[in-house]
């Protein structure tokens, strides 16, 4: 499964900043354990990740993403049960 990730500066900020580092992790047990996922840089600051999902149906995938710019600003977001497996 391929996921796309992108980032942007908030319109109300005085200056534009670009993401320097980004990470993505997946969990198949509701966030108890996390596995890092490789990100592939694409044009325009976009990234993609190819994740392997379990072959069993009825479970869920949780996602945790982080991003940081060169000025020391960062953001992280965790989504438990981001989507279900069928």
pLDDT, tens only, 24-82: 999 999 999 999 999 998 887 789 999 988 887 889 999 999 999 888 889 999 999 99
Report the distance separating Cα 59 and Cα 56, nearest Å.
7
Bridge partners of 61, per DSSP, are 83
Query: In whole angstroms, what is the distance from residue 78 CA to residue 15 CA?
Result: 27
* Counted domains in the chain: 1
The pLDDT score that the predictor gives to residue 26 is 96
pLDDT of residue 79: 97
3-state secondary structure of 35: strand
Q: What is the pLDDT of residues 17-38, one digit of tens each?
A: 788 899 999 999 999 999 999 9
Give the pLDDT mean for 3-15. Answer: 79
Nearest to 26 by CA among 64, 77, 73, 66: 64
The alpha carbon of residue 63 and the mean position of all alpha carbons in its chain are separated, in whole angstroms, by: 6
Domain of 75 in residue numbering reads as 2-84
> What's the token pair of residue 73?
């600003």
């Amino acid at each position: 499964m391929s996921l796309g990730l992108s980032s942007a500066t908030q319109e109300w900020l005085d200056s534009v900043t670009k993401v320097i580092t980004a990470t993505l992790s997946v969990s198949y047990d509701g966030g108890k354990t996390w596995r890092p996922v490789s990100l592939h840089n694409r044009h325009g600051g976009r990234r993609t990740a190819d994740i392997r999902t379990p072959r069993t149906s009825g479970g869920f995938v949780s996602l945790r993403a982080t991003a940081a710019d060169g000025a020391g600003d960062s953001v992280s977001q965790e989504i438990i049960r981001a989507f279900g497996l069928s």
